Each structure stands twice: as C-alpha cells, then as structure tokens.
Amino acid sequence: MTQTDKAAVLLIRARRGLALWGALLFGLTTLGVVWLRASGVDPAEGFSPAIIIIAYSPSLAALVTAGVLGKWKAVKQLVRPIGRWRVKPRYYAFAILLPFVILGLAHFLWRLGGGEAGVAWLDVAGLAPGLGAIIAGSLGEEIGWRGFAQPLLQRKLTIFWASVVVGLLWATWHCWPLFAPGGHEQGWLLDVGLTYLRLVSTAVLYGWLFNVSGGSLLLVMLAHAAHNVAVTSMPVPETAHGLGVLVAVLYFIAAVALGIVARRQLFTHGTKL
C-alpha cells in the first residue's frame, strides 16, 4: 500500500466519504453564491467574504469530512502530504514550468495568428493583487481535489479514470460564477466548454504527479499555484476567446502526450504503483 492511499484507508468507506464531502462542497458553494446574489456583488468586479467561502470550500469540506468520519487522526493524515517534499527534481520542474510553457506558447501562437496586439505578454504588476487567488487555488482546493477525492476514487478506479472524475467535478464546481451576479455574459457557453476541456486535462496531469511523487500534495499545490501565477502574469482576457481556446487545447495535448508516455502508470490503481 502506497502513501497515496493511506488517507482513503483512514476514512474507511469511500462512498460515504465522497458523499459527505460532495454534500458539504455543494452546500458551502451554494451558501457563497446565495450570499453574493443577496448582496448583489459581481465576483469579477467586487469583493465579498462569500468569495473566500467558495474558494476554500473543496478543502474545508474535505477537512470536515475527515474529522467526522475518521476523527483527528484522519485530519492529520489528510494534511500530512503537504509536507511531503522529497520528490525527484524533474517532477518539480514539470509541475512548475509546464504552465509557463503552455501560456507562453499560447500567447506566441495567438500573436502569430494575428491576435489582438493589446493582449499583454507579461503583466508582473498583476501578481500582487492576485496573490489571494493564487493561494486559494492551491491551499483552498487541492486538499479536497487531490488530497481527498483522488485517493478515495483510486480505491476502485485507475489513476486516469479517477483523475477524469476529479476533473469533471473540478470543472463543474468552477462554473459557480454563472449563478452569481454578472454570470451569463457574452461567450459564457464557450467558456464552460473550455473550462471542462482544460480542467479535465489538467486533472490527469495533476493526478499523475500526485501518484508518481508518492502522494505529495505539496507538488500539486505548487503546480496549481504555478498555473495561477502564469495566468496572472500572462493574462487571458475574457474577450480573447481564441487565446483561451489555445490554452485549453495545449493542456489537452499535454495530457494526451502524458497518456502515451506514462500509459502503464495512468491505467493502474494507485495502490499498485
């Protein structure tokens, strides 16, 4: 049994754990959206504590579920992989550099194809204001997606299919702004499709990283943070739909390439790595 699967063992029953986690995730997210609608705050333009509740709901739901089903021991086991830093350097390089390669290549192809000259290559000044979102994306989400759901799903599914399920849940959850004020803007349907393509592809990449590193939650947190830093420093404006398509397609290509190179790893259960 690998380190990756230990948290699942402590939570005893995968179905029960996933059901409670899913209910809490849905409840917290719904609470946040209702709060936003009641206050009339557009999350793209203003701030509300409700946004923090939503942003941290995957990890909060996982911690509460672990505490309810496995007591304090399960909570400690759930967060322990955050300190698992002894990972081969090439995996750190993959996790941190891949988002910058994808965003940089997307911008290059966008410009090459005659994309808007007003779209910035680099916007380092945007990093400081976006720091909260960068942290929330890693700490607020990854304990839930990869730390909790991934190992439980791998009790019955291969790494690939567990990652696909996590990716579908992840993408669906990321559509919450549609139900908040200002949600249905022009091009929203395309954005939803691109969200599913990008996040399911990214989930396969992160699921592989999580397993190949022996269950290092730190590594996938760094990968998630690196993507958010890359997107903040090389922004994809909502009006530049072609650029968004390129980013999603490049993540998909990266996932397909990984599926070819690491097929034996992806199509085994985590307990067999």
The pLDDT of residue 129:
54
Q: Report the range of poorest mean pLDDT among 2-16, 56-70, 192-206, 209-223.
A: 2-16
Percent of the chain with pLDDT over 70: 88
Q: At what angle do helices 188-212 and 241-261 cross, to 10 degrees?
A: 30
Single-letter amino acid, residue 225 = A
The Cβ of residue 252 has, within 10 Å, a number of other Cβ atoms equal to 16
Confidence of residue 124 (pLDDT cuts 50, 70, 90): low
Per-residue b or e along 44-55, where b marks 16 or more CB atoms closer than 10 Å to that residue's CB: eeeebebbebbb
Which residues, 6+ apart, have CB-to-CB distance to 230 below 8 Å?
A: 99, 100, 102, 103
Mean per-residue pLDDT for 218-244? 90
Mean per-residue pLDDT for 109-117? 81
Q: Which residue has the tokens 């063992």?
A: 9
pTM assigned to the model: 0.91
The pLDDT of residue 77:
93
The Cβ of residue 208 has, within 10 Å, a number of other Cβ atoms equal to 23
Mean per-residue pLDDT for 59-87? 94
Helix/strand/coil percent split, the chain, to 5: 75, 0, 25
Confidence of residue 269 (pLDDT cuts 50, 70, 90): confident
Higher local confidence (pLDDT), 271 or 82: 82
Return the top range by mean pLDDT from 50-54, 129-133, 187-191: 50-54
Residue 45, pLDDT > 80, answer yes
The pLDDT of residue 7:
46
Calpha distance 5→150 (Å, rounded): 9
Which residues, 6+ apart, have CB-to-CB distance to 53 below 8 Å?
A: 28, 31, 32, 35
Calpha distance 18→13 (Å, rounded): 9
The pLDDT of residue 9:
44
State residue 72 phi and psi, 5-degree precision: -60, -35
The pLDDT of residue 239:
74
Q: Report the range of poorest mean pLDDT among 6-10, 95-99, 221-225.
A: 6-10
**Which residue in 261, 25, 270, 264 sits closest to 162, CA to CA?**
270
Q: Which residue has the tokens 């739909």?
A: 241
Residue 227, pLDDT > 90, answer yes
The pLDDT of residue 266:
96
Question: Alpha carbon of 19 to those of 22, 152, 224: distances in Å?
Answer: 5, 11, 25
Question: Alpha carbon of 262 to those of 51, 162, 232: distances in Å?
Answer: 37, 15, 30
172-204 pLDDT tens trace: 999 999 999 988 777 789 999 999 999 999 999
The pLDDT of residue 272:
42
Mean per-residue pLDDT for 109-120? 75
Mean per-residue pLDDT for 145-162? 95
Confidence of residue 258 (pLDDT cuts 50, 70, 90): very high
Residue 273, pLDDT > 50, answer no
Question: Alpha carbon of 232 to those of 118, 154, 170, 185, 211: distances in Å?
Answer: 16, 32, 20, 21, 28
The pLDDT of residue 222:
95
